[in-house]
Structure 1
Amino acid sequence: MWLFNSRFLIVALILVTAPVFSSELGFKGYVVSYSDDEKSERWANYLYNHLSNRAEDKTIVLLQKVSKEKSIKRGYKSLFIQVSSGLQFDYCIQNSAEQLDIRAQNDRSALWIIYQVIGNISIEDNRINAADFPPPMINLSNSCKNFDFEYREPHFAPNLQTDFAPILGTNNVETDWGIWGHNVSRIVNKYEDENLYALVEGKRVESQLCFSSPQFFEHIRYFIIDNYGRGDETSNYFMISPQDNNLVCTCSECSKLGNTSSNATPAVSKLVLRLSEHFPDHRFYMTAYRTTASPPTFKLPKNSGVFISTIKLPKGIKLNKKQSKTSQFLNQLNEWRSITDNIYLWDYAANYDDYLTPIPVLFGLQQHLQFFKNNGVKGVFINGSGYDYSSFDGMKTYVIAALMMDTQANVEELCRRYFVSEFPVSGNLLANYYLSLEQNYAEKNKAYNLYGGMRDNLKTYLDATKFITFYEAVETLLPIIRGEEWNKLLKLYTTLTFTRLQIAYTTTTGKWGYGIVNGNKLIVKPEISEYVNLLGRYVAYSDMANYDEIGNTLEEYTAEWNALIAKHSFQNALLGEKIELLSKPDEGFESVSLLNDGTPGFPQDYLQGWYLFSGDKLQLQFSTTNLQNTNTLRLRFLNNPRQGLLSPEKIEILADGKPLKMIASNKIKIVGNTASCDIDIDFSKMKNVVIKMTPKEAKKSIIACDEVQILKL
C-alpha cells in the first residue's frame, strides 16, 4: 500500500509541474541582452551559450546588445544581465512577462544567478533541458538580496567537484585556499633549517614551528608569489595555524612578542599581520584553537580574520544564551570581535563514526545558521563527510548551500525539490523518509552525537522498523527504474545496506537481528550473507571505501562479517545469563549486555561490539549455577595504543569471595590489534565468580572488552 501511494504521489506531482510549451508561455523564445560594458557582455555570452546549448531548437535563444536604436525582437522575452561592483546587493531580480532583468555584484554571483535563471526557465519551458545540474534554489520573483554569509562551504564530496561548487555558489577548500588547516608545515619541511622549528624547553622540535623566524616568513612569501601571485587577479585564502598539538615556541624572538609555554597567539598573529600587509589582495586567517585560542592584543587588518570551532555547541537543537556552552561560545565571539570583523566558523553536520547511516541534520543546522548570522558571523565551513560518500550527501550539499545564502529558506521545500529533480521516480519515497527523520528528531529537541555508533543512533533518532520498511521499499523500486536514476539509487541502496547490517549486528537477535539463539549458541541467519554480498558492491564506488572519519574501511567490515558467517555460530555458556557490574560504568555503558550477547567484537572498530571502561578497575560478577559443565574462561580485548585502548595490566579471578587466579599482562597474548587469554577454571567447584580487570597505567587507558566467554574445552 505504501509503495502504491508513493507512486501515485509521484505521478500526481509530475502532472502538476509538467513544463509548458511556448504557446502557453506567450513568447517564441529568449533574447539575451546586456549593458554596454565588457564584464556584462562576457556574462551575457556565457548565459547565451549555456542556454542555447540546452535548447534543441537553437533559434529560440538569441543574443543582442541593448541600444536605443535596436529593440528586442518581437515575440521574444528579454533576458537582460548586468554585472557591476557598484550594486549594493549580491543580486537583484526584476521579472515581468516581457523582460527578466538580472543584476549581480561580481563574477561569482553572476555565475550562480545564471544557473538559477536557466534552471527556472527549464521548469517552465520544456524546450530547455537543464537536467545536468541541480534544481534552482530560488524562484525569479522581484527581489534584491545579500547572501547571509560571505564564505559558504558545505564540506561534502559533491561540493569538492571543481565545476560543481560555483554552480551552487559555494566555496571549496581545493580551489579557494592556498594553505588549509595545519598544512603550513608542508611549505617549510623541505628546508633543512632548524630555526624554522619551535624551541621548546631549550630544544628544537620538528613537530611545531617557529612563527617569528624571518626565514619562515620568506618561505611562505615565496610560496604564495610562486603559486598564487599577489592576489590582484585572483584572491585566495591562507590559513596560518600551528601544528595540531600543544607545543609553543619560546625562542627569544617569540618570547619577546609575548609567547608563553601555552600561548602561541602573539607570534602567529604577528605573522598573519605581516602577510596581510604584504599581500593586501589575499586573505589570511588564524584559528582560535589550542595554543591560539586567545585573541591577539591588536586589531587584525581588513584582509585577515579568525576561524572558530563550534564543536562544543549542542548539535541539532536551538541555541540560546541560557545554555552554558552557548554562553561560553558567545563570550569567545565577543573577544575575537574586538580585534576583527571577519569571524568564520568551523561547524559540523555529520556523525563522524558513521557516514553511511542517514542522519537528520538540516532542521537543527538551519537554527544554528540563523543564530550565527544574528551574532555577526561572516562565514561558515560546514564539516560534513569530506571526500567520503555519505547517504544523501548530494541533497545535503544542495540544501546547506541554499541555507548559507538565506537562512530563512524552506528546508522541506528544498529537500523535495532536490529529490524529485534528481530521482524522478523514487524522489518522493526518499524525501518522505528523510523528512520524517528530521521532523521526528526535531520534536525530541535533543542534541545528537557527533561521534556515535548504531547503539546511539537507535536510542536517539533511528527507528529500526521504519528504516527497514524504507530500505525494502527502495529495493522494490530498483527493478523498475532505468538510466542515471538507477545508478544513483543503487549507490544509495548499497550505502543503506550498511545500516541494515548495523541494525542486525546491534540488535543481535529478534526480527531484525542477525542471529537465532539455540541453547548456548548464537547461530547466524542465512539471509545475512545476502546483505554482506549486497554491501560488497561498494568496490564499484571510489568514494565509498571508508565508513567513518578515521578511515575504518568497508573492506575490513565485510571481512569481519564473512568470518562470522563462516563460523556459523558463536558458543558461550553465559549467553542469556546475568552479569552484574560492580564498578561505576562509563556513560552509555550502564548495561553490560555487550559482554554476553553472543556477538564477537569487530577488531577494526571499538564501536562494534566492545564494552568500554575507563575507570579504576572493571569488576564483574556472575553465578555459576548453569555453568557446571564448563572449564574455561576466555577474554578478549582491543589493543590500540593510538586510541588509548589497552589490554588490562592484570586480571584477578575470585571464587566465592576468595582469590583464585591472577593473570599478569605478559600472559595476555597480543595478536595485531587484539589481546586474549584462556583461563582454566573448574566452575563446578564454586557458586559465584568475580572478575577484576586493572587498566594499564597510561595517560589514556581504556579497557575494550569483548565477550566474557565460558566454554568447555
Structure 2
Amino acid sequence: MPRLIGTILSCMVLMLKTFCTPVSSIALVKNGRSDYTIVLPAEPTKAERKAAQTLQDYILKISGAKLGIINENSFQGKYAVYVGKTSVAQQLEISSIKDDGFLLAASGDNIVICGLHGKGTLYGTYTFLEDALGCQKFGNAPVTYETKKDLLVDGNMHSLQNPSFKYRQSYYPPSNDPEYLDWHKLQKFEDLWGLWGHSFFKLVPPQQYFAQHPEYFSMINGKRVATQLCLSNEKVLEITINKLTGLMKENPDAEYWSVSPNDDGGYCTCSLCKKVDDEEGGPQGSLIRFVNKVADHFKDKNITTLAYGYSSHVPKVTKPGSNVYILLSSIDAFRSRPLAEEPSAADFRKMVKEWNSVSSNLFIWDYTTQFTNYLAPFPYINCLQPNFNYFKENGVKGVFEQGSGDTYGDMAELNSFVQARLLWSSGQDVAKLQQAFFKNYYGNGGAFMQRYQQSIASALQQSGKNLDIYGNPINDYKGYLSPENIDIYSTLFDKAEAATETNPTLLSRIQAARLGIEYTVLQQSRFFGPDKFGYLQPDNGGGFMVKPNWLQRVSRFVKQCKKNGVTELSEGGISPDEYENEWKEIIAKGWKNNLAFNAKVTLTNPFVEDYPAKKERTLVDGVTGYHDFSYNWLCFYGKDMIANIDLGTEKNITNINMNFLDDPRHWIFQPAAVMVEISKDGVNYSKVATKNFNTPEEHYTNTLQHTVFPLSTTMQARYVRVTAQILSSLPDWRYHPIKKPMLCCDEIYVQ
C-alpha cells in the first residue's frame, strides 16, 4: 500500500510539473516537424471539432507540419494542444470563463485552448493563431501569415478573455465571410435570430389577413389601416403564437425571436389599445403587454422587441418579462460626438437608464453609416470606444452596429475591424488597433491612409457641424467636405496609391476607400451646377455646357463601385448602373435656358431649415433636383410655397414650368394645387394658370412630377409668383401622429 501511494504521489507531481511549470518557450514545430497532437474532449462539440480542424489546417499551411487530432480518452502521448473542455483544461481556472469567452494558456510543455459555451473554443483558436503564430485576417481578404519551419510559443502565455457584450454584430460586407466572423468573434442575424427586426407583418401578413379581417390591424382616425397590428385583438395573439410555434420547430437552435413593430408609425388607436396606452403612458404599453404574453407562452425562448420610434420609452406600469430582450435604438442622435456627450442623444441616454432599471436584458441598435449615402465619408470611428464603454457601464448586454450592410460603404473594412475588437473588449487601445489595421491592410500606403482618416475626423470636429445618418455629402460643402479639404484628402490618396502601385492588391484596397471622396465630388458637382466645382462650364453662347469627359469620370467611378461590391448607393436606393444612367439623363438634358436664372426670389413662408440647399436661390440656380430631397430641393413643411420671382426687367413669357418631388416614404407629396400669377409692377398680379392634383393614392415610389403651365399667348411681366398649396393633412395610408406633409420644389423655369 505505501508503495502504491508513493507511485500515485509521483504521478501527481509529474502531472503538476507538466501542466504548471512555466517554460520560456514551447517548440510547437521544429524544422517542419512536430511532436504535438491536438487533443479534443472525449465527446467534443461541433465548435470544438471545428477549432481542432482549423488549428491543424493553419499549422500545416504555416510550417508544413500536420498535427494529428485525437480524443483525450485515446491519447497516450506527452505533448499536446488541448482544445476544448478537456479534463486537462478543467484543472485550470475555466470556471472564470463567461458567455463565449475562453482561456488560452501554456501549461508546462502543453497548450490549452478552452471555451465553455457556444464558439468560445473556436474564438480562442483564432486568437491563438493571431497572437501566437502571427496570422492576420482583415476584411474579405484571405488570411495572411509567414511560412516558417519553426513555431515557438511563449511558455508564459496566459490569456483569459470574456466578451464585453454577449451579442456583437458589425453589419458590413466583411461579415459575409464566415471565417471573418469567427476570427473577429462577431455574430450575425442568421446565427442567433429565428426572426429578426421589424417583424409584425412577418407574423401576421396583411396580404393574407387584411381583406377578410381588417380588425387585426391598426385603427387610425376611425379606419382600419395595414400599418401595424391591433395588439388588443386576441386573435392576433393566437396567430402570432401559432406562427412562432411553426418557425421554432423549423429552427430549434435559434436563441432569439423578434416580436416587433414595423419600421413606421401608425400604431393602433382603437378603444381597447388606447385604454392600455393611456394607462402605460403611450403605445409602448400595449406593445410590451403583447410581447409579454408571447414570451409567457414560450418560457424557454428569448423574445426580443424594439424600443424604437413610438415604442422607445418605458411603460409606466408593465415591465418586460424575464425572457424579453429590449433592443433600444439610438437613431435620433447625431454622430459628431460620443453618445454620452451628444446633446441630441439626451433622450436616448434617459431611455438607456429607464430600460436598464426595469430589464436586465438590454441590447442597443446603433448606427455607423449615412443611410442616404452609403459611400459618403462618415468619420465616426473615434466615438466607438466611448460609446461602447457607456453601453457597458449602463448594463447593455449586446450591440448591433448597423453599417452599410451587404453593400460596400465608406471605410467598411476599418469600421468593421475596430467595431469587432471593441465589441469583444471595449477597453482596447484604439490607436494601436487603427495603426495595426492601416499598416497590415494597406501596406506601404497605410501611413497616408491613416493620415487621411485623422485629417477628415479632425476637419469634422473643427467644423462644429452635426454628423447625420440621414445627411448627404452636400450639406457639409463648407465644412469637413469642402472642396479645399477634398483636395487635401485627394493628395493623401494620391500618395497612398503611388506607394502601392507595384502591388495590385494593396492598390485596389486604396482605390476602394477612395470611392467616398469621388462620390462626394460627383454629388457636389450636381449641387454646384454652373458654379465653380460644378459639372457645367460656360459655353460660347452665354449659357452652359457639360464639362468634357465628365461622363467618362462617372463611368470610372461606377466601374470601381461594381468591382468593390457596391450594390446600392443608399438604403433601398439605386444601383451603380442606375446611378450612371441618372447621370446620362442629366448630361443628355444639358443646360436649359431660364429667364429666371439667378433672379431674386422672395418667399412668403419660410423653407425647412434642415434642408437649406441654396436657400431661395435653389428655385433659380440653374440645376434641378433629383430623387434625394435633402439637396437641390427647396422644402416646405406644413405651409404653402409662395415664391415671388423678380426677373429684373419685363420679359416676354410663353411658358412656366417646374418640378415637384413625390416621395411618400419621407412624407413628401405633390401639391394639392398650383397657381401661377404674373405682374409688371410687383403689386397687381394676374392669374395665368392653375392646376389641381389628385388625392394621392397609396404608393411608396419616388418620382419627379414635372408640371408645365403654357400661357395662351405671349405675355410681358417682370414678376412671376408661384403658389403651391400643400396637402392639408397626411393621407390615412401614411398617417403619423406628429408629422405633417412636406412639399419640395426645384428649379422654376420661366421661358
TM-score band by shorter chain is 0.7 to 0.9
Cα RMSD, aligned residues only? 4.3
Counterparts in 2 of 1:190-589, with a 5 A limit? 194=213, 197-198=216-217, 200=219, 205-211=225-231, 215-229=235-249, 234-243=253-262, 244-248=264-268, 250=270, 263-296=282-315, 297-320=317-340, 325-424=344-443, 426-444=445-463, 446-462=465-481, 463-470=485-492, 472=494, 480-482=502-504, 484-485=505-506, 488-489=509-510, 491-492=512-513, 496-509=517-530, 512-518=533-539, 520-537=542-559, 540=562, 543-581=565-603, 583-587=605-609, 588-589=611-612
How much does 1:48 deviate?
3.0
Task: Report the equivalent of 1:15.
Answer: none
- 3-state SS of the aligned residue for 1:616? coil
Rounded to whole Å, the distance in 1 between the matches of 2:501 and 2:532 is 26
Rounded to whole Å, the distance in 2 between the matches of 1:235 and 1:306 is 17
Cα shift readout 1:195-225 (whole Å, capped 9, x = no counterpart): 9814738876554324455554454445444
Cα shift readout 1:108-158 (whole Å, capped 9, x = no counterpart): 2222232222233453799xxx962489xxx99744333222211122233
- 3-state SS of the aligned residue for 2:351? helix
**8 Å contact from structure 1 (residues 265, 292) kept in 2:** yes
Task: Report the equivalent of 1:16.
Answer: none
Rounded to whole Å, the distance in 1 between the matches of 2:308 and 2:497 is 45
2:698 equivalent to 1:677: no
Q: Cα–Cα, structure 1 residues 424 and 682, in superposed 2: closer, same or farther, change >3 Å? A: farther
How much does 1:382 deviate?
1.6
2:43 equivalent to 1:38: yes
2:177 equivalent to 1:177: no
Rounded to whole Å, the distance in 2 between the matches of 1:125 and 1:573 is 62
2:746 equivalent to 1:706: yes
Cα shift readout 1:570-602 (whole Å, capped 9, x = no counterpart): 433444555455643321426334333322323
- 3-state SS of the aligned residue for 1:456? coil
Amino acid at match of 1:585: F
How much does 1:546 deviate?
2.0
Task: Report the equivalent of 1:7.
Answer: none
Task: Report the equivalent of 1:91.
Answer: 102
Rounded to whole Å, the distance in 1 between the matches of 2:526 and 2:275 is 58
- 3-state SS of the aligned residue for 1:592? helix
How much does 1:266 deviate?
4.8
Give ranges in structure 2 of 5+ residues lacking alignment. Answer: 1-25, 146-153, 697-701, 730-739
**8 Å contact from structure 2 (residues 418, 433) kept in 1:** yes
Amino acid at match of 1:87: S
Amino acid at match of 1:152: R
Q: Cα–Cα, structure 1 residues 520 and 632, in superposed 2: closer, same or farther, change >3 Å? A: farther
Rounded to whole Å, the distance in 1 between the matches of 2:136 and 2:260 is 50
**8 Å contact from structure 1 (residues 595, 611) kept in 2:** yes
* Identity within the alignment, %: 20
Cα shift readout 1:261-296 (whole Å, capped 9, x = no counterpart): 994545543443344344344211122234544435
- 3-state SS of the aligned residue for 1:317? coil
Larger mean CA deviation between 264-273 and 559-568 belongs to 264-273
Q: Cα–Cα, structure 1 residues 324 and 225, in superposed 2: closer, same or farther, change >3 Å? A: same
Q: TM-score, structure 1 length as denominator?
A: 0.80
Task: Report the equivalent of 2:142.
Answer: 132
Q: Cα–Cα, structure 1 residues 624 and 665, in superposed 2: closer, same or farther, change >3 Å? A: closer
The correspondence for 1:599, drawn from 623, 630, 633, is 623
How much does 1:525 deviate?
0.9
The correspondence for 2:687, drawn from 662, 684, 695, is 662
How much does 1:55 deviate?
3.1
Larger mean CA deviation between 261-270 and 541-550 belongs to 261-270
2:183 equivalent to 1:167: yes
- 3-state SS of the aligned residue for 2:747? coil
Cα shift readout 1:14-67 (whole Å, capped 9, x = no counterpart): xxxxxxxx99998866635447553486365234333245336134x4557779
Rounded to whole Å, the distance in 2 between the matches of 1:339 and 1:261 is 14
Amino acid at match of 1:614: Y
**8 Å contact from structure 2 (residues 218, 226) kept in 1:** no
Task: Report the equivalent of 2:79.
Answer: 72
Q: Cα–Cα, structure 1 residues 165 and 216, in superposed 2: closer, same or farther, change >3 Å? A: farther
2:675 equivalent to 1:650: yes
Rounded to whole Å, the distance in 1 between the matches of 2:242 and 2:183 is 32
Rounded to whole Å, the distance in 1 between the matches of 2:523 and 2:129 is 42
Rounded to whole Å, the distance in 2 between the matches of 1:32 and 1:458 is 61
Counterparts in 2 of 1:3-82, with a 5 A limit? 31=36, 33-34=38-39, 36-39=41-44, 42=49, 45-55=52-62, 57-59=64-66, 61=67, 63=69, 70-72=77-79, 82=85
Q: TM-score, structure 2 length as denominator?
A: 0.77
Rounded to whole Å, the distance in 2 between the matches of 1:208 and 1:523 is 50
How much does 1:71 deviate?
2.5
Larger mean CA deviation between 400-409 and 570-579 belongs to 570-579
Rounded to whole Å, the distance in 1 between the matches of 2:276 and 2:703 is 48
How much does 1:367 deviate?
2.2
Q: Cα–Cα, structure 1 residues 287 and 389, in superposed 2: closer, same or farther, change >3 Å? A: same
Q: Cα–Cα, structure 1 residues 28 and 306, in superposed 2: closer, same or farther, change >3 Å? A: same
**8 Å contact from structure 1 (residues 529, 562) kept in 2:** yes
Larger mean CA deviation between 264-273 and 22-31 belongs to 22-31
Cα shift readout 1:309-337 (whole Å, capped 9, x = no counterpart): 1122332303447x665443333233323
Q: Cα–Cα, structure 1 residues 575 and 209, in superposed 2: closer, same or farther, change >3 Å? A: closer
Task: Report the equivalent of 1:104.
Answer: 115
Q: Cα–Cα, structure 1 residues 636 and 250, in superposed 2: closer, same or farther, change >3 Å? A: closer
Rounded to whole Å, the distance in 1 between the matches of 2:386 and 2:668 is 36
**8 Å contact from structure 2 (residues 361, 397) kept in 1:** yes
How much does 1:401 deviate?
1.4
2:636 equivalent to 1:610: no
Rounded to whole Å, the distance in 2 between the matches of 1:294 and 1:222 is 29
Q: Cα–Cα, structure 1 residues 459 and 45, in superposed 2: closer, same or farther, change >3 Å? A: same
Larger mean CA deviation between 200-209 and 164-173 belongs to 200-209
Rounded to whole Å, the distance in 2 between the matches of 1:606 and 1:659 is 34
Task: Report the equivalent of 2:12.
Answer: none
**8 Å contact from structure 2 (residues 654, 713) kept in 1:** yes
